[in-house]
Amino acid sequence: MKLLITGGAGFIGSNFIRYILNKYPDYQVVNYDKLTYAGNLDNLKDIENNSHYKFVHGDVADEKSIDQVMKDDIDAVVNFAAETHVDRSIHAGSREFVLTEVLGTQTLLDASKKYGIKKYIQISTDEVYGSLFLNDQNLFTEETPFAPNVPYAACKAGGDMLCRAYNKTYGMNIVVSHCSNNYGPYQYPEKLIPYLVCLALRNEPLPLYGDGLYVRDWLYVEDHCEAIDLILHLGKSGKVYNIGGNNEKSNLEIAKIILRTLDKPEALITFVTDRPGHDRRYGIDSSKLQNELGWKPKYNFDTAIKNTIEWYVNRQDWVEKVRQRCQEFNPHIKINA
């Protein structure tokens, strides 16, 4: 099988490429990435000389470039390409998000239709569903109506709706997944866990929005990769699958776990002015994926979060290099959760 992985130099995309090449050594992977600040080829240094791996620099919204790469006998597309930092969609404007999440998806779908791509997987987010209340039993299901509250989530919802339309209108084999917050190696230091780890290592204050009680479900990135693998090979056309880790934690809990692991005082936690449109809680029901495709998360949160923290502790050179790129793009953006 020959896969086109868009956004493959990013956090989840690079982990997925490594996962696929390790599990399916005969597969061919084309990594197509624009290499904005969040695209880092250093993430894939260990496989860059693999004869089954190829990198192509390009923008998913560039029709000519996508046409060139698509006509090269691609069997399936997995679209990770996205502007993902919620704060930047709020403070710096949403145009880039529209171009990548919406126009980029449309460009990929048109090219997939033109070249008869066998399967198209859209990697999306639970944020399209909006917000849940604290302390209730409700979870997002695949039937939950879209109710995005920030520009990033609205753009992701737009791309997802295009996928639905192309499946219904043209009969294309398209599957959409909605995942919860990922954590693990190679995540960028604008994101909550690596950001707080780096601050704690420097004994700097750990800023949390509002009261710090914003709850997210945390999914280890390799569990996510395994879910996408199953969706790629077994997911049925037109289906939507939620992917969650069953680990709902508040930002305050995450901060305390990091400080405890690093033997730092909780006095470093500080509360800052909340951001606009901040969703209170996300919770994922992934029973459909578990029942239909046999997936379940393998990684224990307590172990995986400690391993993740240690990964960043031991790779501060990588962190600093990427942090500088992030700050060049997002000089006023600090955290995202």
The per-residue pLDDT for range 207-258, each reduced to its tens digit, is 999 999 999 999 999 999 999 999 999 999 999 999 999 999 999 999 999 9
Catalytic hit among 127, 190, 222, 226: 127
Range of the domain at 49: 2-188+218-247+281-301
Catalytic hit among 83, 101, 126, 217: 126
pLDDT of 6:
98
Whether 130 maps to a domain, the answer reads yes
pTM, two decimal places? 0.94
pLDDT of 39:
82
- Say yes or no to pLDDT of 336 above 60: no
Structure confidence by residue, pLDDT tens digits, 256-293: 999 999 999 999 999 999 988 899 999 999 999 999 99
Catalytic hit among 152, 188, 209, 282: 152
Structure confidence by residue, pLDDT tens digits, 45-96: 999 999 999 999 999 999 999 999 999 899 999 999 988 666 666 666 678 8
Is-catalytic flag, 152? Answer: yes
Is-catalytic flag, 186? Answer: no
**Token pair belonging to 282:** 């996300």
Whether 315 maps to a domain, the answer reads no
Judge whether 242 and 289 are in contact, CB under 8 Å.
Answer: yes
Total domains present in the chain? 1
Whether 194 maps to a domain, the answer reads no
Whether 276 maps to a domain, the answer reads no
Burial of 18 (0-12, 13-18, 19+ CB in 10 A): buried
Helix H segments across the chain? 11-23, 63-70, 86-91, 95-97, 104-114, 151-170, 192-201, 221-234, 251-261, 287-293, 301-313, 316-329
Whether 325 maps to a domain, the answer reads no
Judge whether 78 and 228 are in contact, CB under 8 Å.
Answer: yes
pLDDT of 337:
44
Kindly report the CATH number assigned to the domain that includes residue 130. 3.40.50.720
Whether 42 maps to a domain, the answer reads yes
Whether 96 maps to a domain, the answer reads yes
Whether 257 maps to a domain, the answer reads no
